[in-house]
Chain A
């Protein structure tokens, strides 16, 4: 077994025992990147010097018996949407090429304070807009389980890097499924926390009312440990929640006996891949065997979620992306001769097709005369969707469903068909609209060897409950031990 095959907590135990140094672990990670990333293309940027310096500092702390946290010294990767002081951050876009942030995102600061070496910035769909990583302005990322396929998106680089064992864990962001869907497609664990649980300060905004950073790891316990580092109130984020942060690992092994788990009818629909359905249904039976009760529930407004999402998210994005105007940072079109040119040419040259599509959708939805019919109505439907969940959670402790309707698809397969691409998120995005926590845990493979993910949705701030439910399954099925055929 190689060093890079260890989970975060396994590595942390070895670091604590002095069996291995953070520098060794970080060098192993860097070597693995060098070895497999030409095939996976998960990294946009590797910060070797920064990571090694942090690793050596960690080793000094470990030696002096004063580690900064339980995860001190465990190398981590960051989606390129998190601002890192002094390290270029692009959100996968040409318009930010060369942009070196003057400050750290709150979560980056927390990770640094906890002593985790940050090895580099991970590939993603441009501004997190996409479900396949193909809208990255630089190059698509490949699924380690089949490099002709997508790892999903938008946090595809994060998922692929963890699955390919280039890093021990990573952070992603989830606006409509961008953590959970790539986790499902790569046999990794992805957790989207409750909206407001993790600070958005310093995270490049896609859709402010939906975005949420979260951990992407190989195991449920790793996700709990990583969430523990980044979940806390932040005075710099007015939407950050004041709720107390529990010990996410405390009840991890408590099992599911006696829990009521809802199976939403609307999440098992036509168009779902039969192998995905089979794997998920088998997982449901497993939960019954483990002592949980399955309850049939209905979330009647689910069918409106996609339309609602594609009004609200682009509307917010159209405004959030207005700051990329060529005036203060990032790209400025060289051939611009007037102010109008600076705007028009910079944005024309700097944004990719998917980003432009969403800016136009959002601009339209907010336009005078269309606002009421589009944006305002979408907000009303959003309330109905949230109420569906509130009612369901009066009956059950959590909801179970597939994460993605299909396993990893071929690169290029859906690029020309945005609508079918948008459908990749139908099971994940209602959770964002409702602000709930959601988790994807590996639940098997198709015959072709493609991973399948099980989604668990919970009550606001019940991340601990989701982790416990996911762990109960993972304990019986250690799919995470399988490594991708690279």
Chain B
């Protein structure tokens, strides 16, 4: 059977570092990039005698995420210990949640070529991150950096509802958007603050029994996720086709070779000996706290996208870009309060504004002009006070100096000339100098018209009102 006769079945486990100031069970900073082992204390070093105390923000973030993903929030969830030895796991166990996680039974809607699709969320739980081992540091040594040990994580486990690599990528992107919107995660795959493992299996099309699954690790970009899943599907089909059996194992995505390779088999899998964490009482979340969190929930990416389409009459393409990040969407809405031609506003956002932001590397939060000033500029363009092209220059100047558009237009003399007499004088002058071209035009070579417009505009340094220039030229050329 060819690959097309098989149905892949995919589930993702997302690990998201929470954007809290301090670690989950101690007061150490979670800042990325500090000198190794600087952000540590006896608690996150797993010294003898230390005890964990829950950072309440972690539970708040978990509840917020659970509600955004339409989960049931457990009034009482339980902490567990997951026991295994590893040098970057200081206590020899990870404090996590096991059989009674804080959130369960949620969903995330994604777009597929066949339309919307609901991916069910099995569970969300809180846990502490491990540190980092640095191998081959010289002298045959491995070093351990425990800055990351104890950084709070949410693990979000989907049901095996994804059916191909593209869906998996779409799910992961949508999940990232939601978490970033909620302000609980920075969505950074490269730094590993947002990462995922994929469970992949294949079964003959039409079958209802899932095949044996493999867990894929080291998928630290959307591209790698897609490549790894596609490779793994092909590999598993290959195994079955050649009469073999897929064995349950953990496989590592090898970025350089573009293959997945076995990391450990089921037999080598740890027995984690989970048991309830005796150092932490069960976590109670009151109905009031859940209600308050639900009320405080921001509009989520998908709802915002749909609202941008309906409320502002924007094409889906525009709406998607404008809502991709919450600050941009918020800024658009602020500007929309001052300028009512939303499609035109969107054009300026997608064109000039985003170009400037990108070129200057300025974050939106550092913009030096107000939404009202942007609205005023666009109004001036509409009224013909400045040409669209000059408007772009004005925006650039606003971007750099924060000056009001009217002041910039005045200072730079960018005001458009709409004085018919002044334009007429220039038109006459140009026509007088180009008798040959007039002949061509009259002989039917209509594209020469553009030449005249260009000459007039150049003579007027771009400030001539284009509509009037056109009108006068046509009149003089006798159309």
What residues of chain A have their CB less than 8 Å away from a CB belonging to chain B?
A: 83, 89, 91, 96, 99, 101-103, 105, 200-205, 207-209, 235-239, 315-316, 318-319, 321-323, 325, 327-329, 339, 343, 363, 366-368, 371, 375
Contacts and interface: CB of A to CB of B under 8 A. Distances in A.
Contacts, number: 102
A328 B48 contact: no
Contact of B49 (A205, A318, A343): A205
Nearest to A326: B87
A238 B279 CA distance: 7
A318 B52 CA distance: 18
Interface extent on B, as a size class? 20 to 34
A96 to B, nearest CB: 7
Contacts of A315: 275
B51 A363 contact: no
> Which are the 3 A-B pairs with shortest beta-carbon distances?
A322-B92, A208-B278, A366-B273
A368 to B, nearest CB: 5
A105 to B, nearest CB: 6
Contacts of A203: 49
A101 B47 contact: yes
**For B87, B144, B280, which residue has the most chain A Cβ atoms within 10 angstroms?**
B87
Contacts of B81: 319
A238 B93 contact: no
A325 to B, nearest CB: 6
Given A205-B49, A325-B92, 12 more contacts: A83-B49, A101-B49, A103-B42, A235-B53, A236-B51, A316-B275, A318-B273, A322-B92, A329-B48, A366-B273, A368-B271, A371-B275
A101 B48 contact: yes
Interface of B: 42, 45-54, 81, 83, 85, 87, 90-93, 142, 144, 271, 273-275, 278-281
A443 to B, nearest CB: 34
5 contacts: A205-B49, A319-B273, A325-B85, A339-B87, A366-B275
Contacts of A89: 48
Given A238-B280, A319-B273, A202 B49 contact: yes
Contacts of B91: 322-323
A340 to B, nearest CB: 9
Contact of B51 (A207, A238, A319): A238
Given A322-B91, A323-B91, A201 B49 contact: yes
B279 A83 contact: no
Given A96-B48, A101-B49, A368 B273 contact: yes
Contact of A237 (B51, B54, B92, B93): B51
Contacts of B53: 235-238
B266 to A, nearest CB: 12
A99 B92 contact: no
B273 A323 contact: no
A91 B49 CA distance: 11
Contacts of A319: 81, 83, 92-93, 273, 275
A101 B45 CA distance: 12
A323 B48 contact: yes
B8 to A, nearest CB: 29
A214 B87 CA distance: 34
A463 B67 CA distance: 44
**For B46, B90, B279, which residue has the most chain A Cβ atoms within 10 angstroms?**
B279
